[in-house]
Structure 1
Amino acid sequence: MAAPWRTAPWRRGLLMLLASQTLTLVRCLEADDVPEEWLLLHVVQGQIGAGNYSYLRLNHEGKIILKMQSLRGDADLYVSDSTLHPSFDDYELQSATCGQDVVFIPAHFQRPVGIGIYGHPSHLESDFEMKVYYDRTVDQYPFGEVAYSPDGTEASQKHPYATEEASQEEESLLWTILISILKLVLEILF
């Protein structure tokens, strides 16, 4: 006798729909979830051919966050404060995922900062949208020193600083949950 879940094809379709909706929800949360301390400076949209680079120059001081979404294809992000033409062979910071790429540029990086956007060869062309944010929070110093933001206000007047590690831990937890859901769906299907 066949297993009951194998005889009901509608269940398989329902599980696939559930998995699809979960992926869509995760992508929406990742794409739009930015702290209120981040000020949007620029939105850059572009297209890059397979195996090619497009270069941008960042002159803005302070802590900068680059959030790039590959709209079609797979664009990767390489950042350097030592060269204006970073690549996968020469960079200080990088993000090379198949979805959203995020890079946190620290305030101590020398300006101008070189930004390289690479079109992965797995796609003939890649469309991307990159949002450039300025992080208006300031670092708290451990021994009672006062840190000042670029506008001259003291750290105590700012919102608490959410560390990069915390956001990476949240992203890691999100991916762990997503992978667990997908494993469960695959286990039920097969």
Structure 2
Amino acid sequence: MKFSKYVTLLVCAVSLQIWGCLSIEIENYFYHLQSFVDDIGPGNYSYFKLSRQGNVRIFVETLEGDADIYVSETNSKPTFEDYDFKSVTCGEDYVDIPDSFKRPAAIAIYGHPRFSETKFRCSVYVDTRDLAQNDPEQQHFETTEDEELTGWHFLLKILEFVLDVAL
């Protein structure tokens, strides 16, 4: 019984390591548009609107406390009870907003109530594969890592299967 727990932990650790490598590969496809730093009190929200078309990633790095992201295309002030997309981890959060999502999209950053203050850095990225398709002069954003990404994706699917069987 203990052996299966160790195997499960090992598979989880390897999966997390691969996710770290995979996220580096995916990050190469994103072009940084802008960043800002803000802080919010416990249980409060900081709102902003996203007008940029295309596939966009909102990335929030918590500097102090715990910041979470909520996104909505219909509600102008999304909450943890009313949203379309969310990311609620401790530390780094991101949400990928597809081009099909209605603009302007409403973004809410929530400061968890267990902290007296939450300080965060919010960064907005656009998928450069969209830029390259829409603007021929932007071809220099194109990367050649599709084959490596596919290999990582395949390995990740195998590890997910092993993890599902182990649990």
TM-score by length of 1: 0.59
Summarize deviations over 1:103-143 as a string: whole Å, max 9, x none: 111110010010000010010110000111000114xxxxx
User: What does residue range 41-190 of structure 1 map to in structure 2 within 5 Å?
Assistant: 41-138=33-130, 149-151=133-135, 158-159=142-143, 160=146, 166=153
Where relative contact order (Cα < 8 A, 6+ residues apart) is larger, the structure is: 2
CA distance 1:108–1:127, change in 2 (3 Å): same
1:36 counterpart residue number: 28
Whose Rg is larger?
1
In terms of fraction of residues, the more helix-rich structure is 2
- List runs of 5+ in structure 1 lacking aligned partners: 1-25, 139-147, 177-190
The CA RMSD measured in Å over matched residues stands at 3.2
- List runs of 5+ in structure 2 lacking aligned partners: 1-16
Secondary structure at the aligned position of 2:75 is classed as coil
Secondary structure at the aligned position of 1:110 is classed as coil
Secondary structure at the aligned position of 1:149 is classed as helix
% identical equivalent positions: 35
Q: Matched residue pairs, number? A: 131
TM-score by length of 2: 0.67
2:9 counterpart residue number: none
Write the letter of the residue equivalent to 1:120: H
2:4 counterpart residue number: none
CA distance 1:149–1:82, change in 2 (3 Å): farther
